[in-house]
Amino acid sequence: MGRKGIESLVGVFVLLGFVAIFYLALKAANLASFNTGETYTLTAKFDNIGGLKVRAPVRSAGVTVGRVASITLDTRTYQGLVTLEIQKSIEFPADTSAKILTAGLLGDQYIGLEPGGDDKMLKSGDTIKMTQSAVVLENLIGQFLYNRAAEGPAEKK
């Protein structure tokens, strides 16, 4: 194999490296499964959104059905107002509930939708009424420590 053949192989190897880095960057930014299909918007209010971020997945039964479009503060109720973009081909019943869940113990947070049994479907612009806020690990640890301190020292037998 000549010098040009080796240089071509090195070039292909470097190109594959750039493609791999680009793919990893898209995955890290949560853009790898970018869907440009038609969507409709739903909103949900949460007391605490935890570490939820814009572009976080919206999942139902573990399947990604949309993305978080925006997160703002409702200045009237002081709750987190989350706008969801859901794929147009997927409809949810009007009594659907939304939860902020965590992928794994310390993973990224996402919205989980649990469909209800209503015959009426949510339309674009509707608000999901039943929501469950994020579980904040720091609050759980704080509650545990406070409860342990309130119990006092353990009695010896």
Domain ranges of the chain: 1-32, 39-143
Q: Residue 9 CA to chain centroid, in angstroms?
A: 41
Q: C-alpha angle 55/59/63, rounded to 5°? A: 115
Looking at residue 131, its pLDDT comes to: 92
Say how many C-beta atoms besides its own lie within 10 A of residue 55's C-beta.
13
Model-wide pTM > 0.75: no
CA pair distance 6, 14, nearest whole angstrom: 12
CA pair distance 150, 133, nearest whole angstrom: 27
The pLDDT of 122-131, averaged and rounded, is: 93
More confident residue, 90 or 141: 90
The pLDDT of 80-102, averaged and rounded, is: 94
Buried b (16+ CB within 10 A) or exposed e, 61-91: eeeebbbbbeeeeeeeeebbbbbbbbbeeee
Looking at residue 154, its pLDDT comes to: 62
Residue 91 has pLDDT above 60, yes or no: yes
pLDDT in tens, 41-78: 999 999 999 889 999 999 999 899 999 999 999 999 99
